Amino acid sequence: MAREKTKDVAEMSVEQKLRNLYSLQTKLSEIDHIRTLRGELPLEVQDLEDEIEGLATRIEKLNKDIVSLQKQIAERKGNIEVNNTNIARFKEQTETVRNNREYDNLSKQIEYAELDNQLNEKKINEAKAEVEAKTHEVAQCNLLVQERRTDLDIKKSELDEIITETKAEEEKLREDAKNLECCIEPRLLSAFKRIRKNSRNGLGVVYVERDACGGCFNKIPPQRQLDIRMRKKIIVCEYCGRIMVDPELAGISPTAKVEDKPKRRRVTRKKGE
């Protein structure tokens, strides 16, 4: 069955192939129009979702940093308590020293412990300031997430409404386009899709309009226009590569040519007048 269908498609006349191609182009253009109605909403929804995900990752990292800083603060407070215990013990020992050497050694131990306490206090203050800054940033990120979620809900609602309104129409157009593709020679269909993909307006088949290509608007020589009207072979624009059909095949009534203005009669005066 597949071979018979392929054979039937290959045996179609050029005119029928062009009609099928133009019909397919029309259906795809209508689908593109529906997508245009959606505008930038799908991209905006995706951007908002990505931003919310990024903020969530940022909040998670900040919270981990806060926990780590709080752990450092607790460790340094523990060091201070150990140092204070040692300082008290060293001071008690200074009262029972037997010589200056022992006294100097204990004094240095006390000095080192007090310096270490100062360093720990400094690091604790720095860590507390950093915790405060990160906590504030987390709060700001949470507010921003709430705002973005509100925006996302609105955008999703708008997008869902448009999709609901156009879903049935789009599905019908896609089904029609799929059926038309089965009636087009695979090689020709592949070329059409490639041309359509490379064109900015999504047009792979255009009709001749005012003696010019309907895609790139470059002038078409009269002989080439005649070949297009004959519908004996597939003709593409030599400038943009789009497949061209005549307006009549596209269902477009030919525009009436502007009549030439009547030439002004030249008045000859006789001698002596």
Percent of the chain with pLDDT over 70: 89
Residue 249's pLDDT is 87
CATH class as words, domain 40-164 = mainly alpha
pTM of the model: 0.55
Residues 6+ apart with CB under 8 A from 102: none
Quickly state the pLDDT bin for 1 (edges 50, 70, 90).
very low
Q: Do 40-164 and 2-37+185-245 have the same topology in CATH?
A: yes
Map out the domains of the chain as residue ranges.
2-37+185-245, 40-164
Quickly state the pLDDT bin for 142 (edges 50, 70, 90).
very high
Per-residue tokens: 206: 């255009």
Q: What is the pLDDT of residues 23-46, one digit of tens each?
A: 999 999 888 888 877 777 888 899
CATH of domain 2-37+185-245: 1.10.287.1490
pLDDT (average), residues 230-253: 87
- Give the chain's length: 273
Residues 131, 74: contact at Cβ < 8 Å? no
Long-range contacts, stretch 161-168, CB < 8 angstroms, 24+ apart? 162/37, 162/38, 162/41, 163/38, 166/34, 166/37, 166/38
Least trusted range by pLDDT, from 57-66, 158-167, 169-178, 190-199: 158-167
